[in-house]
Amino acid sequence: MSFRNSLSELFGNPPKRPDKKSFSIEVQEMHATKKFDKVRIQAIYEEIAEHKKLPQKWRKRRWATLIIVNLLFVVSLYFDISMLEGSLTASRFVGFHMADLNSALQVMLAYKHIVLNLVIGTVTIFIMWWLLGGRTFCSWVCPYHLVAELAEMVHEKLEAKGWVKDHPFDRRARTWFWIIFVILALVTGYTVYETISPTGIISRALIYGPGLALIWVALLLLFEIFYSRRAWCRYGCPIGLTYGLVGSISPLKVQYHLVDCLHEGECRKVCLVPHVLDTVIKGKAAGLDVDLGADCTRCGRCVEVCPTKSLTFKFKGFGDKL
């Protein structure tokens, strides 16, 4: 996917239909000759129904990582071992200053002066998340992601019974939220977003004990269960957008391979940001191998559920596949 289209999607615009004239002869032939293999697709659905559960390999790895990272903060404070001090907003890892990029931006705008430790922390975190894929922060570290994923499972169960229905919003709302919170920090001199950020609220609650702000997190989760699936991460959270911008230039991507794809769309059903998988729809891939866009959280759900292994992790410069 082109850098421009990747950013456009990240800001909330619908995926652009690639210009077919720009497709190579090989890709044009592939699209022209590929047919829906109904028999194989039916066999895949039967196999899924038999196992009752989709593969969970990457999900288990991700949940373990997320829990360990967040517990490290708690353990460091509890045993006073100065390993990982602070919270996800601002921390010190074995003496290295680290700062969440969105929080650092809010602090600098609010206080209108550059603090050296904050700059060091921001640069460290920027390099780390650039290497790791940007929104990897969301699915591998953010504690709200974990509870929202559990809420999503409840939503799916209720939806299957016909008791709830998903209500999507305009994805551009997230970009507007991002701009509004930047302006609020500048005008009020206060890091307004931090007071409502479920990421910061849960992280602080885990480390320093629960507070009233958790009621806000509970309301968000109820909204996601009963009204709009994964609403906060899809349409609201400015942190996701900030890390998405970092991910747009990251060497770590999920890559789509057209050749074996059946276009049955199992990946799109499980994805938090299904617009990045628009390329898997028949006739839309602009190449034989296509990097997914910046909004991808590198969660690995599509990688593990794809029955033909047409989606893989890829680290540029380290071969094609991880």
Binding residues for ligand SF4, per CB under 6 A?
A: 138, 142, 144-145, 198-199, 232-233, 237, 239-240, 254, 270-273, 276-277, 292, 296-302
DSSP state of 258: T
Residues in Cβ contact with 80 at an 8 Å cutoff, skipping those fewer than 6 apart: none
Exposure string of 63-87, with b = 16+ CB inside 10 Å and e = fewer, is beebeebbebbeebbeeeeeebbbb
Nearer to ligand SF4, 109 or 273 (CB): 273
Nearer to ligand SF4, 79 or 193 (CB): 193
Nearer to ligand SF4, 189 or 211 (CB): 211
CB of 297 to ligand SF4, least distance (A): 4
Strand arrangement, sheet containing 90-93: 84-86, 90-93, 96-99
Nearer to ligand SF4, 38 or 270 (CB): 270
Using DSSP bridges, classify how beta strands 90-93 and 84-86 pair: parallel, antiparallel or unpaired.
antiparallel
CB of 232 to ligand SF4, least distance (A): 6
Measured in Å, how far apart are the chain's first and last C-alpha atoms? 20
Nearer to ligand SF4, 76 or 242 (CB): 242
Nearer to ligand SF4, 84 or 201 (CB): 201
CB of 276 to ligand SF4, least distance (A): 5
User: Could you give the 3-state DSSP secondary structure of residue 98?
Assistant: strand
Q: How many beta carbons lie within 10 A of that of residue 20, not counting itself?
A: 12
CB of 38 to ligand SF4, least distance (A): 25
CB of 177 to ligand SF4, least distance (A): 11
CB of 302 to ligand SF4, least distance (A): 3
Q: Alpha carbon 130 to chain centroid distance? A: 14
CA Rg value for the chain: 21
